[in-house]
Amino acid sequence: MPSEFALEIDNLTVEIAGAAYVRDVSLAVPEGQIHGLLGPNGAGKTTLLRSLYRAVAPTAGQIRAQGRAIGDHAHHEWARKLGALVQSAGLLDGLTPRDIVEIGLSVLELPHGEFDRRRQDALELAGLADKQDQPAGKLSGGELQRCYFAQLLACDPEIYVLDEPTNHLDLHYQLALLDEVRRRGRTVLMTMHDLNLAVRYCDHVYLMAGGRIVEHGRPLEVLNRQNLMTHYLVDGQFHGNVLSITGPIHQQSQRRRA
Amino acid sequence: MPARFSLLFPAALVAMVLAAVAGVLWGTADIGWADRLAILSRSEEAPRGLSLIVWQWRIPRVLAVGLIGAGLSLAGALMQTALRNPMADPYLMGLSSGASAAAVAAIIWLPAAVTDRLGVPLIAFLGAAAAFALTMGLSQRRGQPMDPLIVVLAGVAVSLMFQSLTAFFLYIGDPHATRNAMGWLMGTAAGTEWQEVPLLAVAVVALGLVFLTQANALDATLLGEERAQALGIRTARLRAMIFVATVLLTGLAVAVAGIVGFVGLIVPHMARLLVGARHRVLLPITMVLGATVLIAVDLMCRVLLAPEELPLGVLLALFAAPPFIIILRGLRRAV
């Protein structure tokens, strides 16, 4: 049955070795919107994303893309529909940025005629056209992140899953690459530590704590002073789209929260 | 990259054929050119004794050594990819020693009927599998990524243990083995028979082709476990395939020639320097280079101190030491 939502998650629980990292989470991202998962370290954001790209199997619950369950897709078919930018340690000896982008295109068996164009466009967007044949092992953390971003942009799936996409990126590429994602009008679910960027890009955000969604809504509504204090342990508030922070709140309140 | 490969691959093939021809023409026995030609053309005038040396000893030996070189290099390249560890190798991880200990124990203690029934290759395969399980078990740290250095240390420990066991078995047993103690511990292809070649050939060629069809999935594996999964690769299944293939190749190699070290470590690195790390070019080059290197080293073992023969392990370790140190220095800790 077709659904108005590109990505739906119903009552998802993920346990790893007996410990619950995601508890009974439900959310739905309409076609073409950018939704953000926010929350402090250990809130379960990354685990939630991992279950979307099939790195962990959910203990309970449903994941659907365009109304069709994840389990009804072959692995490669799902990967063509939902692409992810993730954190993971590789062995890059003998690979170049060009290889990294090509690997994504080859694995997903994208039409051969478009292969070269997609690769070059993506490398240029990521500012790596002039470094495409250099050893990937010698790139800086930011350049490497741009390589993987370029791979995802070249594959251009219908749903983008981004785990801390701005990691290691300088300000220019943080904005340039996320602008590009938004320009393409794809459906996006991403985790984000930078709350200013979350406010700038997300149509809707979910605030997670202890594996659950504790609040969701428009970014500025969710990121109010009370939530910043309770979940991020900082005293701050948004003025327009800019977060101004007075400072971290004291350890005592941290203890009270625990 | 493909342009480079299309030049280098034929060149490597030519080198392999030249090495093989040299391996057949030269050896511990000194044969004149006239006799060489007579023997190879199977002429009536060929001296029977020398003809026997070439056809029954040298040719199967060169073929077996080439296949072992190709197989161990393939195993090394696959392990390095599966574990994303540049130091992964059937020898360093203890597989060869496990296979050798199992084969020696079986030959000494099991009734010949049983050993013949099961076959030394199968027993060596089981030994390699046990050693591999042990190394991986010792390297696991709950909830932490496997540190490449810890894997190597665990492998060295397992390797030492099995090598002492082999030496112990050989010392207390009465080895009616087809090879001497030196062969089992340091590798030698002396005494290889024709009947040992077909199984090796089928396994090495078939596994080479199987993994060539998985080249894209292997490439994705290099980028990291989670990245490969996000690209739709079933990483656990691919890893299981690689581990079975590696253990199989090592078991077969050890059953024929004992412990042959370092080829699986060094050759894939040479290949990566030449053509990069994409598996559709890396695997073919790795296998051809592995065959070439081992045929050449085996030939040196036969001619350097002729009529005495050096064990393969001695020369291999000598050649492998400098690149080994370079790879070790380039190793990054797991984060």
Instruction: Please say if the pLDDT value at position A55 is more than 80.
Output: yes
Mutate to test the interface with B, among A107, A138, A164 (most CBs of B within 10 A): A107
Query: Which regions of A39-107 does DSSP assign to beta strands (E)?
Result: 60-65, 68-69, 82-85
Sheet containing A159-163: which strands, arranged edge to edge? Answer: A82-85, A159-163, A187-191, A34-38, A204-209, A212-217
pTM of the model: 0.91
In angstroms, the first-to-last Cα distance of chain A is 44
Q: Which residues contact A115 (CB under 8 A, 6 or more apart)?
A: A102, A105
- Cα distance between residue A7 and residue B115, in whole Å: 59
Residue B80 near chain A (CB below 8 Å): yes
- Select the residue of A86, A106, A108 nearest B227 (Cβ to Cβ): A86
Q: Choose from B229, B274, B335 for mutation: most chain A CBs within 10 A.
A: B229
d(CA A26, CA A11): 5
3-state SS class at B199 = helix
B231 contacts on A by Cβ (under 8 Å):
79, 103-104, 107-108
User: Rounded to whole angstroms, how far apart are CA atoms B228 and A104?
Assistant: 9
- Which chain B residues in 255-284 lie under 8 Å from chain A, judged by CB atoms? 269, 272-273, 276-278, 282
Paired tokens of B80: 């390095």
d(CA A21, CA A191): 15
pLDDT tens-digit readout, A137-178: 889 999 999 999 999 999 999 999 999 999 999 999 999 999
Count Cβ–Cβ pairs < 8 Å, chain A vs chain B. Answer: 98
User: Smallest CA–CA separation between A247 and chain B, in Å?
Assistant: 31
**How is residue A114 written in tokens?**
């478009």
Helix (H, G, I), strand (E, B) or coil at B169: helix
Contacts of B277 in chain A (CB under 8 A): 92-95, 99
CB A228 within 8 A of CB A234: yes
**pLDDT of amino acid B335:** 38
Distance CA B128, CA B83 (A): 17
CB contact under 8 A, B282 and A87: no
Work out whether strand A204-209 and strand A34-38 pair parallel, antiparallel, or are unpaired. parallel
Cis preceding-peptide flag for B307 (omega within 30 of 0) = yes
Question: Using one digit for the tens of pLDDT, what is the confidence trace for A95-144?
Answer: 999 999 999 999 888 777 788 899 999 999 999 999 999 999 889 999 99
CA distance A108 to chain B (A): 7
| Chain B residues within 8 A of A91 when measuring between CB atoms | 80-81, 84-86, 222
Residue A240: what pLDDT?
Answer: 86
**A7: Cα within 13 Å, side-chain hemisphere:** 25
Pairing between β-strand A68-69 and β-strand A19-30 as defined by DSSP bridges: unpaired
pLDDT band at A2 (very low <50, low <70, confident <90, very high): low
